[in-house]
């Protein structure tokens, strides 16, 4: 079973920031927090991951709570191409996906 909880869906306006939350209250010390997204009719693609510190890359930022029981994926300026299902996963010798958050981006 997935160890993370995410909202089923979220909406955003184009060119606005999006904050996608994820709860992982049973996280263990060696679990990495991974985020993936799946665009329509494609395989999931890696977005970002972190362990304790906040992380930035060209796609997004990952903010990790101090107790590591939650995290937030931040898309700084949503585009129509960011419409996808976003998955938050705890990674430790395992890779089980939950239902994810379906992000809709409105023009």
Partner 1 sequence: DTAVSQTPKYLVTQMGNDKSIKCEQNLGHDTMYWYKQDSKKFLKIMFSYNNKELIINETVPNRFSPKSPDKAHLNLHINSLELGDSAVYFCASSKVLGQLNTGELFFGEGSRLTVL
Q: Which residues lie near partner 1 (CB under 8 A)? A: 30, 32, 34, 36, 38, 42-46, 49, 85, 87, 91-97, 99
Q: In the complex with partner 1, which residue's Cβ is closer, 43 or 107?
A: 43
| Shortest Cβ 16–partner 1 spacing (Å) | 26
Three-state SS string across the chain, please? CCCCECCCEEEEECCCCEEEEEECCCCCCCCEEEEEEECCCCCCEEEEEECCCCEECCCCEEEECCCCCEEEEEECCCCHHHCEEEEEEEECCCCCCCCCEEEEEEC
Question: Smallest gap, in angstroms, from Cβ of residue 52 to partner 1?
Answer: 13
């Amino acid at each position: 079973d997935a160890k993370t909880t995410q909202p089923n869906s979220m909406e955003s306006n184009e060119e606005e920031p999006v904050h996608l939350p994820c709860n992982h209250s049973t996280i263990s010390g060696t679990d990495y927090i991974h985020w993936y997204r799946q665009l329509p009719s494609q395989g999931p693609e890696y977005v970002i991951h972190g362990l304790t510190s906040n992380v930035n890359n060209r796609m997004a930022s990952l903010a990790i709570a101090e107790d590591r029981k939650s995290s937030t994926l931040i898309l700084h300026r949503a585009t129509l191409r960011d419409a996808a299902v976003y998955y938050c996963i705890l990674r430790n010798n395992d890779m089980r996906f939950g239902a994810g958050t379906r992000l809709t981006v409105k023009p």
